[in-house]
């Protein structure tokens, strides 16, 4: 069923708990990004931003630039969508810097799209 954000939120939260329980760190970032976007689509803006900020902390701990850049793009886009343009721009500029360092045209394009 399209738009069943409550069920999606529950399943993603369960996935996060299972990934943590079994030590599957590499899946956590993707699960957190998806949960943040589901929360955003479901109108839970402050929860979405908090989720993506938690994800960013995890990405920075893992020190994998492509993960950090991906999270920054999601967080920056979400921040812009809730109307905080100044903070969103700051976040997206950091994502753009990482994308340029990686030479990722896709990430560069997405970072510049807003």
Structure confidence by residue, pLDDT tens digits, 13-44: 999 999 999 998 888 999 999 999 999 899 89
Instruction: Give pairs for 20-29: CB < 8 Å, separation 24+.
Output: 25/58, 25/62, 28/55, 28/58, 29/55, 29/58, 29/59, 29/62, 29/67, 29/70, 29/71
In terms of Cβ atoms closer than 10 Å to its own Cβ (0-12, 13-18, 19+), residue 100 is middle
Structure confidence by residue, pLDDT tens digits, 65-93: 999 999 999 999 999 988 999 999 999 99
Q: Report pTM.
A: 0.86
Q: What is the mean pLDDT of the chain?
A: 92
In this prediction, residue 1 carries a pLDDT of 43
Token pair 């996935």: residue: 15
**All domains of the chain in start order, with CATH:** 5-112 (1.25.40.10)
The residue with greater pLDDT, 21 or 114, is 21
Half-sphere exposure of residue 84: CA atoms within 13 angstroms, side-chain side: 14
């Amino acid at each position: 069923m399209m738009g069943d954000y409550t069920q999606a939120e529950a399943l993603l939260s369960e996935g996060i708990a299972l990934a943590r329980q079994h030590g599957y760190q590499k899946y956590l970032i993707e699960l957190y990004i998806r949960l943040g976007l589901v929360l955003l689509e479901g109108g839970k803006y402050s929860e979405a931003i908090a989720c993506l900020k938690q994800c960013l902390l995890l990405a920075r701990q893992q020190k994998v630039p492509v993960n950090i850049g991906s999270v920054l793009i999601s967080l920056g886009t979400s921040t812009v969508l809730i109307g905080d343009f100044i903070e969103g721009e700051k976040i997206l500029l950091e994502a753009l810097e990482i994308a340029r360092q990686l030479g990722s045209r896709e990430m560069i394009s997405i970072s510049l799209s807003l």
